[in-house]
Structure 1
């Protein structure tokens, strides 16, 4: 596989890096909340910061607002980076196309993990953890979603390194801009319909899940 530095569209870089920053901020502040109140699965005994839950909740809300924008980009402009038919590529173990297929599957899993995180996060009550009430489905699901997110991110980095090496990993942070990659051209490749039934199903799960997360507090009995 070529190790030449690939070019990533500016819109992808902006959305990817914004979402990545929010994810890492949410993971860090979320662990700080866990480390303060729960500690059942290990602890770092971090210093207590006032209103950690509020900080985490604010970051999570911004993530919830940004996630559908990123998801729509992924499904309608950057769909070639998500899981693609034919699924027979997964049988070609060890071949370059197999690694690419795994990378696309991992990218899709990140979107699903993020969706699960916002749904379960919106199910939570801020009084649960201070009251040592850890057995709610929303909290347990939230922990599971962030474990899945951490694993997905780790696999995303590993698969990207395998497929494109360091040039691919660094390309998302490049400052290069091509003349044709300006805002007026960003949506020229937008597709109304996802490129495959698989992606349509994934989009229904992700966008539908995000929509549920937005309205869930109005209906969920805490």
Structure 2
């Protein structure tokens, strides 16, 4: 018997959809930047795009502006989809839901560090061949973790909930209770459900602040 498609809250689908599109665009444009100026660990015969760095930076800036809201949603509405106290035990037991929570949590942290390291890069480094700058190498590492986390998120999502779960995230169905914006805020928590998530929320939000503030402070010096 085919599984029915579960219903996902509209606020989750809107936040998840916006961040997913921006993250994918950032990954693709980021690889294009690497492919254009670096390529030492493998490259593809892609056409050169004028000002690909500027395009990548614009996408990343929009992602940075929206990411705090998505992070707050994840920690205060969707924390059941992140790590919890029993997750470590469940991971060792091969629980697919626990592994998916780990991938989701890792992605939040990885995107945060990708934003920080990307903001600390200088646009002139790559065109003049300065490929061993610490911030650039750190950005490549963070970018790679984001990519692996995204792939894990999709694969484990399909494993844990099957295709109905994946389809539910792009469904346009809207229930009556979701038609009123005031109902979107129901189900939120004052703080995450465990100390681990509280600590991770502090790290992520602090990282977002650093991504906004640190480049400006360095430029002003």
Shorter-normalised TM range: over 0.9
| Structure 1 counterpart of 2:215 | 217
Instruction: Answer whether contact 1:3 1:164 (CA < 8 A) is retained.
Output: no
| Structure 1 counterpart of 2:131 | 134
> Which residue among 103, 116, 119 is the counterpart of 1:119?
116
| Structure 2 counterpart of 1:168 | 165
Shift, 1:88, TM fit: 2.3
CA–CA separation in structure 1 for the residues paired with 2:199 and 2:90: 19
Shift, 1:195, TM fit: 1.0
| Cα shift readout 1:141-196 (whole Å, capped 9, x = no counterpart) | 11001110111111111111111111001110001111112311011222121111
CA–CA separation in structure 1 for the residues paired with 2:12 and 2:33: 31
CA–CA separation in structure 2 for the residues paired with 1:52 and 1:24: 15
| Structure 1 counterpart of 2:203 | 205
Shift, 1:120, TM fit: 0.2
Scaled by the length of structure 2, the TM-score of the pair is 0.94
CA RMSD in angstroms comes to 1.4
Scaled by the length of structure 1, the TM-score of the pair is 0.94
CA–CA separation in structure 1 for the residues paired with 2:152 and 2:35: 25
| Structure 2 counterpart of 1:92 | 93
Equivalence map 1:1-222=2 (5 Å) = 3-86=3-86, 87-93=88-94, 98-182=95-179, 183-220=181-218
CA–CA separation in structure 1 for the residues paired with 2:92 and 2:32: 41
Tell me the SS of whatever aligns to 2:21: helix
CA–CA separation in structure 2 for the residues paired with 1:50 and 1:67: 27
- Structure 2's unaligned 5+ residue stretches are none
CA–CA separation in structure 2 for the residues paired with 1:15 and 1:81: 14
Question: Would you say how many aligned residue pairs link Structure 1 and Structure 2?
Answer: 217
Change (3 A) 1:49 1:201: same
CA–CA separation in structure 2 for the residues paired with 1:139 and 1:81: 31
Shift, 1:114, TM fit: 0.4
Shift, 1:125, TM fit: 0.2
| Residue range with higher mean Cα deviation, 200-209 or 79-88 | 79-88
Shift, 1:219, TM fit: 2.5
| Residue range with higher mean Cα deviation, 70-79 or 173-182 | 173-182
